[in-house]
């Protein structure tokens, strides 16, 4: 069953138009940062299909430049089978995604079937783990990718937000 914006609005006690403005990141949106966070969190929890949005790849928050090492893992399907492992460097970060560079994988290929990236942060975010999907890929000279986080625990989200200050 597909989750609608109306169902998200009802769950949070908001108007559907407010949820629409938040999810589509309309410039006319005047919701608080906390309301925006709750809408996106609830949408993720309910399994909302973000691919239906008009501005799906527009950033929900500004990213902060950084250099954080991460361990990468490519899991096939829902994460039951490990396809590949490696490392990367997070060059910029937001609570919702990151830009990865200096990617070193054992197989150095991306599977042609559904997969999920698992990121385990090092450095000042040691112990933070998130799931991510690729939203931008650049392989002109070296592999670089923009990723969108999902399935982020409240503790991981809190630590990323604290890091971003």
Give residue-wise pLDDT tens across range 26-74.
767 788 888 988 998 898 888 888 776 765 545 555 677 899 999 999 9
* SS3 call for 106: coil
| CATH fit for domain 64-164, picks 2.40.50.140, 3.30.230.10, 2.40.10.220, 2.130.10.10 | 2.40.10.220
Report if pTM > 0.75. Answer: no
Is residue 58 within 8 Å of residue 28, measured between CB atoms? no
| CATH fit for domain 5-52, picks 1.10.260, 3.30.70, 1.10.3470, 2.30.320 | 1.10.260
**What is the rounded CA–CA span in Å between residue 92 and residue 88?**
12
Residue 23 binned pLDDT confidence (cut-offs 50, 70, 90): confident
């Amino acid at each position: 069953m597909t989750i609608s914006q109306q169902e998200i609005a009802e769950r949070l006690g908001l108007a559907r138009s407010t949820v629409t403005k938040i999810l589509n990141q309309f410039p006319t949106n005047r919701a608080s940062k906390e309301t925006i966070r709750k809408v996106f969190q609830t949408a993720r929890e309910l399994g909302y299909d973000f691919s239906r949005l008009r501005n799906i790849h527009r950033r929900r928050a500004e990213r902060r430049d950084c250099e954080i090492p991460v361990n990468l893992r490519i899991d096939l399907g829902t994460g039951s089978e490990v396809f590949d492992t490696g490392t990367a460097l997070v060059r910029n970060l937001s609570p919702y995604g990151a830009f990865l560079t200096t990617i070193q994988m054992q197989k150095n290929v991306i599977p042609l079937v559904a997969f999920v990236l698992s990121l385990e942060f090092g450095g000042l975010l040691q112990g933070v783990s998130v799931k991510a999907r690729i939203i931008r890929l650049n392989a002109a000279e070296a592999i670089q990718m923009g990723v969108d986080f999902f399935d982020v625990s409240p503790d991981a989200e809190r630590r990323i937000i604290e890091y971003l200050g």
